[in-house]
Amino acid sequence: MRWTIPAALAATLSAGVALAQPLSPTPRDVEGPYYPDILPADSDNDLTVIRGKQSAARGRRIRLEGRVVDRAARPLSGVRIELWQTDAGGRYIHSGDPLRAERDPAFQGFGAALTDEQGRYAFRTVVPAGYASRPPHFHLRLLRGERALLVTQLYLPRRSGERGIGPGRLSLREAAQTVRLEPAAADALVGHFDFVLDRSAE
Ligand SMILES: [Fe+2]
């Protein structure tokens, strides 16, 4: 099910920025072993609903949105962003995920979005569960055509009060990969993150 960026947000995001210093590129991070071995038939930017299914995914909703820009804050359009993550119970859709818990059959597990002319992207998904020693996180891959520009992971703030987001300190690198949460409706979160790509990555 396709989901679009609200108009008010779009206006906010399109505001210009004058820069004294180049922005720091978003850190790279390991891809991990659970990029889907079989991509789902529905791989749009709403991971909470699978086309053709009546039920919706379990778990707390989060809108993950922002922009992709270069180090001078210029928007990068036409960048494909792939997102994969666990469901609310901690399961990936990868067939090799060793966790025994039942996978949420209504959760898409993987989705993709294309940045618009302002560099904007948006996903609707659920708050991922942490697993083993890892805090809850999103896996992302940014591509231009077939070429990967960036592979990284994003974290949720540890003190957001959400279930499953444990205490502890983020490393400096993790802090540079942390989603900024904004007020939203009682049953949902909004997470904001701007990706910064070095032009040499293009
Ligand atoms: Fe992971």
| 85 C-alpha to ligand 1 centroid (Å) | 6
Q: What is the tens place of the pLDDT at every residue in 17-42?
A: 567 899 999 999 999 999 999 999 99
Query: Taking a C-beta distance cutoff of 8 angstroms, is the pair 6, 122 a contact?
Result: no
Q: How far apart are CA 43 and CA 198, in angstroms?
A: 27
Q: Which residues contact 188 (CB under 8 A, 6 or more apart)?
A: 60, 61, 62, 63
**What is the pTM for the complete model shown?**
0.85
List the domain boundaries for the chain: 7-12+19-201
Ligand 1 centroid from CA 137, angstroms: 6
**From the CA of 138, how far away is ligand 1's center (Å)?**
7
Cβ neighbours, 10 Å, residue 123: 24
CA distance 184 to 152: 26
Give the residue ranges of the chain where pLDDT is below 70. Answer: 1-18, 132, 158-172, 200-202
**pLDDT digit string, tens, across residues 102-135:** 899 999 999 999 999 999 999 999 999 877 677 7
How many Å lie between the centroid of ligand 1 and the Cα of residue 186? 27
Ligand 1 centre to CA of 28 (Å) is 14
Choices 2.60.130.10, 2.170.130.30, 3.40.80.10, 2.60.120.200: CATH for 7-12+19-201? 2.60.130.10
CA 23 to chain centre: 20
Distance from residue 19's CA to the centre of ligand 1 (Å): 34
